[in-house]
Structure 1
């Protein structure tokens, strides 16, 4: 058993499989255990045995007006993982959709006023971010992929802002010592992100009429989210 569990919340199997491979590569792990929360509950994975969790993205949104049974169950399980990390019993990294779940759980606001279309962007580390064990070595900034419709309106109560930029005020924060949340996707390489674009071509993350130009820009981008991910396993148990 791996000490880290990849938590999948994507309904699309091809995107989920690719994201799993991306996280395993970025974390530098030969094996990365996995649970797909749309098909299984946390209990089926004996989740409390894991010391670390990485949570991928999803086409779900916390601000969705109508949520099905599966989405409500997913959000409940994600909150349980976040609570465990907040208590210091595990280390967790929530990405994209996950930052909305954690923000709401912490009493913060999630809004749709700062969306970002599919692209590479620079995020700038705050002073606490430059001193953080996970983010600090990337100071003063890192280049990552973003694509989202909602985001945290501000840093939620009790959390520390680690990264920001002009397009999206809250790009990353830490709550407690072991709960991390990022709006961006640290795991995706240019090819990973281009492949993901093909799956979500009609999902509103970019103008489908500009697909070819957006894909070219993505494939020519240089990102360094893998550097951040590679440090994550060192935080576990430390």
Structure 2
């Protein structure tokens, strides 16, 4: 199926929170490339810049969420006014999304937003340095339509200071890695989140490594080690999920 063959004309929405223009623009381009969507069918909203506008969820095909420098588990006094606003807007939106079981796929930051909705513990227990890890699908993950075409274990890019440390019973675990127990989850039938980044290729993650070198993801003298870590294995499979998501939910 090509982009011109997708049913309907309702756009997907990409919620973004990166303040730096280069990684923000590159993130959008990566989502366009891996979903196969034309720009007119992927509406980007930069929440770090502007308040979330009113969204008529009946008029969208689905919602995608990119990664973020924000951490849900940061103490309130360390959160900026922008972060607090974004979290409040995302919380209200996710409540509505989950109630509707609206197609939703959150990458990395999506785990924090869904975990907060669930009241799950989110902390540094399963933090992972910027690297490539092996994600293994659970039995439920192997049967899930979003994972169609993925091998049982695949390499993926990660880099996060927090993660869900105990999955609530209403969520379905779809994938894990040796160093992070919740790499992919589903709520209801159509609401998904991944701790790994399905939208990244190696050039994209290298851009982020340089852009966020002073954000505490690695020590100042570990830049070269971190760049080497994301090249330890080819990452080719996770991006398939984005195309599958679009083909499944375009309307």
Structure 1 and Structure 2 fold alike (TM over 0.5)? yes
* Aligned equivalent of 1:14, options 10, 22, 46: 22
Aligned residue in 1 for 2:192: 180
- Classify 1:150/1:86 alpha carbon distance in 2 versus 1 (closer, same or farther; 3 Å): same
SS at match of 2:53: helix
Distance of 1:234 and 1:56 partners within structure 2: 19
Q: Mapping of 1:221-236 within 5 angstroms?
A: 221-223=233-235, 224-236=237-249
Q: Which residue of 1 aligns with 2:73?
A: 63
3-state SS of paired residue (1:162): strand
Instruction: Find 2:13's aligned residue among 5, 12, 15.
Output: 5
SS in 2 for 1:138: coil
| 3-state secondary structure, aligned to 1:38 | coil
TM-score normalised over the length of structure 2: 0.88
Q: 1:219: Cα distance to partner?
A: 3.9
**Structure 1 CA distance, aligned partners of 2:192 and 2:57?**
18
Aligned to 2:44: 34
Moved over 6 A (4+): none
Partner Cα distance (2:192, 2:21) in 1: 26
User: In structure 1, the residue corresponding to 2:72 is in which secondary structure?
Assistant: coil
The separation in 2 between residues aligned to 1:83 and 1:48, in whole angstroms, is: 15
Q: Which stretch shifts more, 22-31 or 36-45?
A: 36-45
In 1, the alpha carbon distance for the partners of 2:49 and 2:22 equals: 15
The structure 1 residue matched to 2:59, chosen from 49, 53, 56, is 49
Indicate if the aligned counterparts of 1:98 and 1:181 stay in contact, CA closer than 8 A.
yes
State the partner residue of 1:144. 156
Deviation at 1:114, TM superposition (A): 1.4
Count of residue pairs brought into register by the alignment: 238
The answer to whether the 8 A contact 2:142-2:148 is kept is yes
Shift of 1:212: 1.8
Native 8 Å contact 1:130 1:137 kept in 2 = no
1:23 to 31, 41, 46: 31
Q: Note the residue ranges of structure 2 that are not aligned, 5 or more in a row.
A: 1-8
Does structure 2 retain, via aligned residues, the 8 Å contact 1:109–1:156?
Answer: no
* Bigger shift: residues 143-152 or 130-139: 130-139
Deviation string, structure 1 residues 106-126 (Cα, Å, up to 9, x no partner): 121111111111111110000
Aligned to 2:3: none
Secondary structure at the aligned position of 2:214 is classed as coil
**Distance change in 2, residues 1:178/1:139 (3 Å):** same
Corresponding position of 2:130: 118
Q: How large is the RMSD of aligned CA atoms in angstroms?
A: 1.9
Which whole-Å CA distance do the structure 1 matches of 2:46 and 2:22 have between them?
13
